[in-house]
Chain A
Amino acid sequence: MEKLSLTKHPELLLTIILAILSTVSTIYYFHQGTILAYGDAESHINIAKRVVDSLTPGMAQLGGIWLPLPHILMIPFVKWDFLWHTGLAGSIVSGAAYIFAGYFIYKITNLLTGNKIAGLIGAFIFALNQNVLYLQATPMGELPLLAFFLASIFYLIKYFQDSSNIPVLIFAAFFAFCATLSRYDGWFLVLFEALAIIIFYFRKPSSFRELEGKLILFATLSFLGILLWFIWDGIILGDPLYFTSSPFSAKSQQNSWLTKGELPAYKNLSNSLAYYTVTSAANIGIPIAILSLLGLFIFLWQKRSMQRLLVILLLSVPFTFYVATLYIGQSVIFIPQLTPASFEWRLFNVRYGIMMVPFAAVFTAYFWSQWRNRIGKFVTLLLIAFGLLYYGLNQYGMPIVLADGTLGLSASKHPEAQTWLAGHYDYGLVLMDDYARTISIAKSNVPMNNMIYVGNKPYWEDSLKTPEKYARWIVMQKGDAIWNGIYENPQVQPLLYKYFYKIYTSPDILIFKRQA
């Protein structure tokens, strides 16, 4: 049997190295205790956990706001409490997505340059990015989206190179379908991919029938995820547009910033452009961002073909998406370089910039591949290495995405009440408004199937009227649904004091326990 040579199979070598990098990085952040640094990270893992372990388990626990695929992928792992408590169930999914994404950056770069070493350079620019290395250790949804996004783009570029190859068009549609079920950025991706297909055929009016057939084939699968999400929200939550109209949606959150006058990019195109450009550069690092722009210019300069324009259009979809959503007020980013000092927070959602790292990786590698002499190649490699170490635009002494998760508004809260409950909880059901993120469930020692939250509808609704019906513990935070519905509700409050006694008090959080 022929010996498997790693140098002859760079894909295999790359996969092994990526797996090692992913594991080492995850172990590092596990020991640092930052896997669940983001408040959202724990929410993601909790959603997956509730599908299998909850008072009312089932797929309905996936909810209707966050797209479900990353949570579905975590389900096989969250069954083990250790993987849930630590967040490692999410790290496994993000880690696998990281390997997948790195692999497809290699494939895309290789496709554009015809050079396997350039492919490896592109993959490593992505894989060694410190922000990427941190996020791939967490349960956040960015890495799964990136993986599907890159796979879809790769197959679509392949299709543009040989339009008789129907399977690659189906693969592009399938991964786009997965992307649409991972994050809302994916919805923009499929729109732009469909647009790219139209542009591709637009040059040849004679092939209108072919365009019609191929576009329908692509769109039927790639848009299916969006349709399913509307149907899901309609059936489970009674409103197909629940994800955008509910009080838990991003739009509602952005409205609260707007009323405070802290939505600087809203209806301001230059601010929207500036915010996302700076955020992307902060994620990529200034040196590599510059190299990638040089690569982009050369890519366009050499041959201004339609295919090249389509490649740029597809790889820059995240840029268009975030600029557009910042402009219409559907998303918000705070970054110290641009956010006024008068704002309550100056670091929030900077991880959105990570979506442009593949763009930078591909075009930086492209830039490297265009050097004819070794010195040029060597100097470029040195600059890349420097760029991977020095980021600029980051005063935190740690990856800016991690800084956002530990120091910024994205960070999860760890109030003293959480430690107290972890030490005193014995048994019984706990009533808590999880949406208000009063305390971390994963770190509170309470089994998930002992929690009553808004997703356990019959238990939750009954408990707000008759708190003693199920709960042994009640955890409330000033202003949350339980505080307003029970503590401040004159009709229910007497029941609270009749059946429960206050066992923990802090300025914001109160904990009640059932009387003996």
Chain B
Amino acid sequence: MSYYELTLLLRTREGNSGSKRKNRKYTDLPLTESAFYRLSQTQILAFSLGVIIFIVSLLFNWHATILIIIGGFTLFYFADMLFSFILIFRSFARNPEIKITDEALAKAEKLNHWPTYTILCPLYKEWQVLPQFVGAMANLDYPHDKLQILLLLEENDRKTLAKAYEMNLPKDMKIVTIPDSRPKTKPKALNYGLKMAKGEFLVIYDAEDVPEPLQLKKAILAFAKTNNDTVCVQAKLNFYNPRQNMLTRLFTAEYALWFDLILTGLQSISAPIPLGGTSNHFRTVYLRRLLGWDAYNVTEDCDLGIRIAERGYRTAIFDSVTLEEANSRVLNWFHQRTRWIKGYLQTYFVHMRHPGQYWQNGQKYNFAVFQLVVGGKTFTTLVNSFMWIVTIAYFLFRPQAGHLIESFFPGPIFYLAIFSLLAGNFIYIYAYMIGSLRREQYDLVKYAFLVPFYWAGMSLASWVALYEILIQPHYWAKTIHGFHLQKVNLPPAISPTTTAGAPY
């Protein structure tokens, strides 16, 4: 255990800073179930054993070792491609997302019996988008006497705190100051907020979010349409600045694919759904039973989604959209992506500590899906760059290295690899197009051809994520928001300029 981890552990268990406030426990999850540790002792042992076997095999027969590894990669790519194809197909065939009709809404309006709702909004150094968020909350079509909106602000973020106190916030919006403590992560803030939550239902919005005004009502009706084991419904995310630049266009196409095809596909096979960072609506009592978020996981959303499935609960996607800000700056995007991939790695390691449990709990199927969705997506992102280099090297240096590279791809592996390369890349590019079309963002379809460059960025981010997980596993690279404010015209109802005198 590193000194850093030891310090964190001591702080969490006993507190050592001298401040009473800092003694509060910010996660109810046992550390053994959190990303506090990178790997369990068994995992360290297994990993070390794997490395030793690899080195010995290389020394014994390097060619066969590399051939077996490439064969394994190829099989995995093929499985991943097949799985993604099935998800996309089922997403169309089943159309599983919960749809709330106008009639159902009108009927519920007549009953006028809406439950209490808590909205958690963690903010950190995001004072620029605060007026926009206040506007978006004011715009929500929900009885405001049933709403509890908690702005979760960090004690050391003085500027946002000052700005928030300066604003004429509505009555249902309360500022909660989170004592200065480590880790400085969003899930820690959310856990703090969860302890104060009074609503029967609870949702998380990021500061830059603009949810559809009817989203809370739709979420209630979506819950009503499901069984009690559905403890979370996830709204779909989209962007209000998709055409700001090339990066936002590709990011938008990616979100369309993820939320409209992959997640709905996962829902159609009742598989674990890695939650999106915002607009997850919970039955609060179940969220507490699940012990909230993992304060040490930098993609706490993904982790919670998997934990929901592990405990036998479900997540469903419902037909409502929250608009966010698409990252428009490359470096900012890169940091965000690095964090996401690092979080997926953390989640994978956490939930692989006791893989036998999946068998004991009768969740073999969820185990396989978990391998493909969380493990597989991360793994392929990492390995992609290596495979691209091999492919490019083959064509560039065919006379010199052609025979050597070919020797690693004997018959069946070669055909499987070629098929996966062509069909796999095509299916993904095509899926980006379908996602954009489904959202009627027709002009974005053509940009799907540029997605390979986007993947290259993702692959690079994955290697940085791997480095970070070794050096600073709990570091939360804050995504900076507000770059759109000068460039994008938001709808008048949520424009920051119209919220100063919010009518409540």
Contact = CB atoms under 8 A, between A and B. Distances in A.
Interface of A: 58-59, 166-167, 170, 209-210, 212-214, 216-217, 220-221, 224, 228
Contact of B436 (A167, A213, A220, A221): A213
B467 interface: no
Interface string B442-455: 11111000000000
A166 B446 contact: no
Given A166-B92, A213-B437, A224-B426, 7 more contacts: A166-B438, A210-B442, A213-B443, A217-B433, A217-B434, A220-B429, A220-B430
Contacts of B441: 213
A166 B433 CA distance: 11
B415 interface: yes
B182 to A, nearest CB: 47
A228 B434 contact: no
B476 to A, nearest CB: 37
Interface string B397-428: 00000000000000100010000001000100
Contact of A216 (B411, B415, B422, B446): B446
A449 to B, nearest CB: 15
A167 B92 contact: yes
For the complex of A and B, list the 5 residue pairs with the smallest distance between their C-beta atoms, beginning with the closest: A213-B442, A213-B445, A209-B442, A216-B445, A167-B92
Interface of B: 92, 411, 415, 422, 426, 429-430, 433-434, 436-438, 440-446
A8 to B, nearest CB: 23
A209 B440 CA distance: 9
11 contacts: A59-B415, A166-B437, A170-B434, A212-B443, A213-B433, A213-B436, A213-B444, A213-B446, A216-B433, A217-B430, A220-B430
B437 A212 contact: no
A57 to B, nearest CB: 9
Q: Which of B433, B434, B442 has the most CB of A within 10 A?
A: B442
Contacts of B92: 166-167
Contacts of B426: 224
Contact of B437 (A59, A214, A221, A224): A214
Contacts of A213: 433, 436-437, 441-446
A217 B445 contact: yes
A221 B433 CA distance: 11
A220 B433 contact: yes
A300 B440 CA distance: 34
B415 A212 contact: no
Contact of B443 (A59, A209, A217, A224): A209
**Central interface residue in A58, A213, A224, by most chain B CB within 10 Å:** A213
A217 B411 CA distance: 33
Contacts of B415: 59
Contacts of B443: 209, 212-213
> How would you classify the secondary structure of chain A's contact residues: helix, strand, loop or mixed?
helix
Contacts of A209: 442-443
A75 to B, nearest CB: 12
A58 B410 CA distance: 11
A217 B422 contact: no
Contacts of B446: 212-213, 216
Nearest to A207: B442
Nearest to A211: B442
A369 to B, nearest CB: 32
Nearest to B411: A58
A207 to B, nearest CB: 9
A167 B438 CA distance: 10
A51 to B, nearest CB: 11
Given A58-B411, A228-B422, A166 B442 contact: no
Contacts of B411: 58
Nearest to B89: A167
Contacts of A228: 422
A461 B422 CA distance: 32
B286 to A, nearest CB: 35
A469 B202 CA distance: 81
A212 B426 CA distance: 19
A214 B434 contact: no
A127 to B, nearest CB: 29
Nearest to B426: A224
A388 to B, nearest CB: 38
A210 B422 CA distance: 27
B234 to A, nearest CB: 22
Nearest to A231: B422
A119 B276 CA distance: 48
Contacts of B422: 228
A6 to B, nearest CB: 26
Nearest to B88: A170
Nearest to A170: B434
A171 to B, nearest CB: 10
A228 B418 CA distance: 12
Contacts of B442: 209-210, 212-214
Nearest to B93: A167
Contacts of B434: 166, 170, 217
Contacts of A167: 92
A144 to B, nearest CB: 20
Nearest to B433: A217
Nearest to B95: A167
Contacts of A214: 437, 442
A166 B430 CA distance: 13
Contacts of A59: 415
B72 to A, nearest CB: 23
A103 B222 CA distance: 40
A155 to B, nearest CB: 13
A228 B415 CA distance: 15
B490 to A, nearest CB: 22
A333 to B, nearest CB: 36
B445 A212 contact: yes
B150 to A, nearest CB: 40
Contacts of A210: 440, 442
Contacts of B429: 220
B445 A221 contact: no
Nearest to A166: B437
A214 B445 CA distance: 8
A448 B443 CA distance: 53
A221 B430 contact: yes
B344 to A, nearest CB: 29
A123 to B, nearest CB: 26
A216 B437 CA distance: 10
Contacts of A166: 92, 434, 437-438
A71 to B, nearest CB: 15
A354 B486 CA distance: 63
A209 B439 CA distance: 13
A170 B92 CA distance: 11
A214 B438 CA distance: 11
Contacts of A216: 433, 445-446
A195 B404 CA distance: 46
Contacts of A220: 429-430, 433
A59 B443 CA distance: 38
B66 to A, nearest CB: 22
A68 B430 CA distance: 23
A167 B437 CA distance: 11
